[in-house]
Every structure is written in structure tokens, then in C-alpha cells.
Amino acid sequence: MARKKNDLADLSLGELIDELKETKQEALNLRFRNATGQLDNTAEIGKVRKQIARINTLIREREIAAAEAGQ
């Protein structure tokens, strides 16, 4: 979760999809660490989930803009 919202807006669609995959993998790792008791700060899970939602929102916005431009 190294990127901020403003940084995400500058990425291309392909880069956003790659970032989404990386962030989902990070969320999975956090869940495993939480389940095994190795995660000290459980708030990280919520932060990663919000980051995934931000990325999904940007991807959807671009899909809608592309569909409207194609009309």
C-alpha cells in the first residue's frame, strides 16, 4: 500500500490492474498474519481494504468514461 490516492489517479488502466493484484495479495498476507497472531496492527487490514476499494473505483470510472466516449 505504498501509493496514495493522488498517485493512483496518474496510473494507466493496466498499471491500476497490476496495483489491484498486488494490493489484494497484501490483504491476503495480512489476513494470514492476523490469523496466526503475527499481526501487531490490525488497522492495516482496513487500510488495505480501503485501498482496494479506491483502485476498483478508479478502474470503474475509467471504464464508464471509455464507454461514454465510444457512444
Q: What is the pLDDT of residue 71?
A: 72
Name the residue range of residue 38's domain.
Answer: 5-69
Q: pLDDT digits over 33-68, tens only?
A: 999 999 999 999 999 999 999 999 999 999 999 999
Q: How many structural domains is the chain composed of?
A: 1
Q: What is the CATH number of the domain that holds 12?
A: 1.10.287.310
Give 3's pLDDT tier (boundaries 50, 70, 90).
Answer: low
In this prediction, residue 2 has a pLDDT band, given cuts at 50, 70 and 90, of: low
pLDDT of residue 70: 83
CA distance 65 to 45: 31
Q: What is the pTM of this model?
A: 0.87
Q: Is 31 helix (H, G, I), strand (E, B) or coil?
A: helix
